[in-house]
Structure 1
């Protein structure tokens, strides 16, 4: 039996293995591009244009920054930016 092959070629020219992913399979720029090209809520929106995952992540970060008078740690800022990363299983 042949082994299943399920990977996506990313802009960074790395192959993201969908069956056995590792953190070394992608770069932050791949994640950022995937978030920018993926719409929230399947593109459904009350606005004229759909909201991308990247826009949503930046908005979430700004809301949390405004609510934290002493500021956020770098780890919390990064967590805000990648909190929906699981939606990008293919990283586009």
Structure 2
């Protein structure tokens, strides 16, 4: 199953949150948040995990980018989330994209 791509745009509600978002030295990191999209940035479909419950290939569900300089995930890594729609098992993988 492929979910259509839905861009996620962070919305800050406080001054503290506004200061936390973004990078001084990188214009791309912190902007790669999305739901679905069929394929993730940085992981090919052949590398998608198999469900631990039923051994079927999991569906790419979302990716969450690093937030900013103060909350960076190991040099601008992205969290890729996968779900099995049969078992509702989830798995997250952290990658450098």
Name the TM-score, length of structure 1 as normaliser.
0.26
Q: Report which of the two has the higher share of helix.
A: 1
Q: Report which of the two has the higher share of strand.
A: 2
Name the TM-score, length of structure 2 as normaliser.
0.25
Give the number of the structure whose alpha-carbon radius of gyration is greater.
1
